[in-house]
Amino acid sequence: MKLRLCLYLAAISAVLLAALPSHTARRPRYGGTLRVELGATVSSLDPKVAAANPEEANAKAELDALLYDHRGDDGAFVGAAGSGAFRVSEWDAGKRAVFAANENYREGRPFVDSVEMQMGRSAHDRVLDLELNKTDFAQIPAEQARQAADHGVRVSTSQPNELLALVFLRAGPGTETARVREAISRSIDRTAIVNFILQKEGEPAGGLLPQWSSGTAFLFSTQAAVHNAKEIQAQISTSPKLVLGYDSADTLEQTVAERIVVNAKEAGISLTSRVIPSKPAHGTDIRPGDAVHVDARLIRLRMPSPLPNVSLAAFIDKLGPMAGIVDSPLPESASPEDIYYCERSIMNSGLVVPIVWMPQVYGISARVRDWKQPAAGETWPLADVWLDSTDAH
């Protein structure tokens, strides 16, 4: 009887062990090729060759993180090419790259033997390939995360760390223009943008820093106040006709811009949207007087660090030349109050209108193990993931 009972227990234990999730039971293994799809096209891995646009710059930074040893003080990756976790095995500029595992990497050989990268894949194709298990890793737009998840894609979402904001390009002086900016800011229904356009992947933005970083974002209103906007608009004697620009390659910007135009029109503000060429990788984006005249434009601001003072300083660096914001640099030891007042000062100028905070969303295949969501400013930890052989593609 006891024996029978022991056998039953053994059988039940075996069944339960078999029923346990495999990844929880498996140990990291070496081998396999990690398939990665990039939206951007990287034309060169040479650090001296500048990227053509921010997307390429971001993608190049991710590749550099795999090929180089570590970052320098300025944030750039340093060391000899191939000193990182991977070495370049194959390179077809702008199309395909294969990185082989560096056996002599100082932090140890990565788990995967190689990383195969397809470049220039559209967001739609990336999501589709994730659904069809044709790729192991790809970043997907936040607004498509919900749909991808509904279609069975394993989605990893970061904290909202990318700000979509409306920036008035060196707006003219005077109270009239300031009130127009205020009216536009109040007319924008940020919640609807988050819920409908971003499909609830994000947060309405009232300030330049997210709540999780600064802890003071709740002090900035994100509620739409159409009535207030109408009242302000009614007080303006000669309402100017403004043009809002958006990046020609960014469908999210286009959709948000159109929504802002609708909101502004509802408040009686004359605002139209216009496509502008993709912004360059370096420099200060479009300025007044460029070939395509716009009065304001949408920009994406990705936090370089979880630290609020660092991110705010970086934002000010970027927004300053565009909107003419002049502010004293934040010291590294700035207190939360200093950061808030600096942020409030910029918000009061009305030159920057935060719209939404968006997370970084990644689609990951089921065989990828030990994926850790990178923090703001960090690169993809592809050297740390390993592939489960039971989920062979």
Partner 1 sequence: MTFRSKLFVNFMLALLLSVALVTAGVTVATRRAFDELNRQHTDALVEQFQREFDRRGHDVLHRVQGIAEAEPTVRMAIDLSRPNADISVYVNDAHGVAQSHQLDFLDFVGTDGSIISSAEWSARFGYKMEWVTQKEDWASRGSFLMRLDTQEGPALALMAVAAVRVGDKDLYVVGGERLGKEFLASLVLPENMRALLYLNLDTAFQPANVIDSAGSVAEAERFEPIIERERAHPSALTEKINWTFDAASGEIFHAIPKLGRQNELLGVLLIGNSQRTVVTLERHILWLAIGVAAIGILFGLFLSWWAAARVTLPVRKLAAGAREVSDGNWNTRVAVRGNDEIGQLAQSFNQMTQELVDQRERLIQAERVAAWREVARRLAHELKNPLFPLQTTVENLQRASTQNPDQFEEVFRESTGILLAEIENLKTIVGRFSDFAKMPQPELGPVDLNDIVRNVVKLFEAQFCAVGRPPITPELHLGENLPTIQADNTLLHRAIENLVLNAMDAMPAGGILMMRTAQNNGNVDFEISDTGVGLTREEADRIFTPYYTTKQHGTGLGLAIVQAIVADHSGRISVESEMGVGTAFHLELPVKPPHHPNQTAPVVVAQDEKKEED
- Give the span between the Cα atoms of 346 and 48, in whole angstroms: 35
- Nearest approach in angstroms of CB 376 to partner 1 is 26
- Nearest approach in angstroms of CB 72 to partner 1 is 44
- Give the span between the Cα atoms of 322 and 286, in whole angstroms: 8
- Nearest approach in angstroms of CB 363 to partner 1 is 19
- Give the span between the Cα atoms of 91 and 233, in whole angstroms: 56
Q: 39 and 117 in contact (C-beta within 8 Å)?
A: no
- Give the span between the Cα atoms of 139 and 102, in whole angstroms: 24
Q: 361 and 159 in contact (C-beta within 8 Å)?
A: no
The alpha carbon of residue 134 and the mean position of all alpha carbons in its chain are separated, in whole angstroms, by 23
- Nearest approach in angstroms of CB 158 to partner 1 is 21
Reference 197, options 145, 264, 151, 160; nearest CA is 145
119 or 197: CB nearest partner 1: 197
DSSP state of 294: -
51 or 243: CB nearest partner 1: 243
Helix/strand/coil for 71: strand
84 or 245: CB nearest partner 1: 245
- Nearest approach in angstroms of CB 254 to partner 1 is 9
192 or 219: CB nearest partner 1: 192
Binding site for partner 1 (CB under 8 A): 146, 189, 192, 195-197, 199-200, 255, 258-259, 261-262, 266, 273
273 or 309: CB nearest partner 1: 273
- Nearest approach in angstroms of CB 124 to partner 1 is 12
- Give the span between the Cα atoms of 243 and 274, in whole angstroms: 7
35 or 297: CB nearest partner 1: 297
- Give the span between the Cα atoms of 234 and 230, in whole angstroms: 6
Q: 209 and 196 in contact (C-beta within 8 Å)?
A: no
- Nearest approach in angstroms of CB 5 to partner 1 is 50
Alpha helices by DSSP H, 132-225: 145-150, 175-187, 190-192, 211-214
294 or 351: CB nearest partner 1: 294
